[in-house]
Amino acid sequence: MENIKALKRNENQEKFVALRKEWSVFTYERFEVKTDNGGLEATFYFNIDQKHFFAPHIAIPERPFLDWTKIERKALETIVFHIGMIELISYWKTLCPAKVVIKPFALSEPQMRWWKKLYYNGLGEFFYLNGITVGEEEFMQMESDSERGFSPISLPLDEKTLVPIGGGKDSVVTLELLRKEMPVTPLIVNPRGATIGCIEAAGFTLDDCLVINRTLDANMLKLNAEGCLNGHTPFSAMLAFVTLLAAAGSGSRYIALSNESSANESTVPGTKINHQYSKSVEFERDFRTYVETYVNDKVQYFSFLRPLSELQIAMLFSRCKNYHAVFRSCNAGSKTDSWCCRCPKCLFTWIILSPFLSHDELVRIFGSDMSNDKDLLPVFEELNGTAPVKPFECVGTVGEVRTCVDVMNDREGTIFESSPHPDVALSELLKNFNKENFLPERFVGVLKSALYK
């Protein structure tokens, strides 16, 4: 099996080199944005060597709290252009041309370095799993072919908060804590059963939410099906730039994400390869600096849960009983809004909730007893650090998994064996408050009040 994997990785490296000889230039040609009756639509136009053309699209339906007329055209175009900058990486990776040309705006050298860093680290999993070896300097040459430069824009912002909802436990905790303290607007990209169920459990309807419908270009999906290079891209970075547009339209000063401190741990130990790179505090810091420098210095993008670990978030979520039947964190079952009970995400969610919910409660949530499923042992070894690499999923740290398994084994016993780790009491771990965060003071108070309740 390992020999087969090595052969596949060698083939992909050769494919990568061959593609870069065959395809030379990826071009971000232009974008279009229009507003009508309170809604907004934007389309981005990319091509590779004028032979493969892509036109991904986003649409924000009309809502009473959206007013695009308050935003100057220059400001609107500045923000929309940046959404195209993060969308393009999904299309570039199909054929990986060595040069990227940006035509709508002129980027400075520092800006191009910023984007190359995001692309390279955001594609770390893509390069690793495809067996591609390439350095940050040489993987992409970026050029800017425009005379239209940047200057900071003004935005009409009020003391309102956007909360992106993904349908999992983390965004539920953010929504539940903040909605009781301040005006919040849930934000959903491509609504599905779990996201709608979660906002309804919080007392909202879909009409109360800011909805973003994102459509991928069919030509990219066709190229993927034909065997072009494919893999993970930094979705959370795309979400960051889309929420910036949403904040402008809704007049919301605060964008409260739900990324935790556990997201900073690399997926491949000893490297910077991290499935959750665009959820890390490093990206959050970089994004805030970029927006403040080149876009607007008043909007506040931050992760409300950054001071906490997955363990602490699970504790807070265990109290949110009305969400337990509707939340979903399984990527494999996302289209059917179900728990597959076979993947790392499902098993991790069971494990991290186990210190705070009874065995019967967990079985009711997942519809299966994962704590005694022998088929999950290989998955467990990836989660608890026995395997060389963590799962390429949004899961917590090895230490958190080991602590929770100790609790399960002390309480009722499982097929999962404990592993050596620092002997720190669960009660102590639940008191931590990571100071490396960007929460405004008001939000710190809300989070601490819930944590130390």
**Which of these, 18, 270, 20, 16, lies nearest to 130 by C-alpha position?**
16
The pLDDT, as a whole number, for residue 422 is: 64
Q: Which secondary structure element, helix H or strand E, spans residue 215, and what is its range?
A: strand 210-215
Question: What is d(CA 153, CA 105) in angstroms, rounded to the nearest whole number?
Answer: 15
Strand runs labelled E in 1-38: 25-36
Q: Does residue 70 surpass a pLDDT of 70?
A: yes
**Which of these, 370, 373, 397, lies nearest to 383 by C-alpha position?**
397
Lowest-confidence segment of 6-10, 64-68, 111-115, 128-132 by average pLDDT = 6-10
Quick one: average pLDDT of 328-354?
92
Q: Which pLDDT tens digit goes with each residue over 392-406?
A: 998 888 889 999 998
- DSSP assignment of 73-134, as one string? HHHHHHHHHHHHHHHHHHHHTTT--SEEEE-SSPPPHHHHHHHHHHHHHHTHHHHHHTT---
Q: Which pLDDT tens digit goes with each residue over 160-170?
A: 999 999 999 99
pTM above 0.85, yes or no: yes
Tokens encoding 390: 């963590």
Question: What is d(CA 171, CA 258) in angstroms, rounded to the nearest whole number?
Answer: 5
Mean pLDDT of the chain, nearest integer = 93
Confidence category of residue 7, pLDDT binned at 50, 70, 90: very low
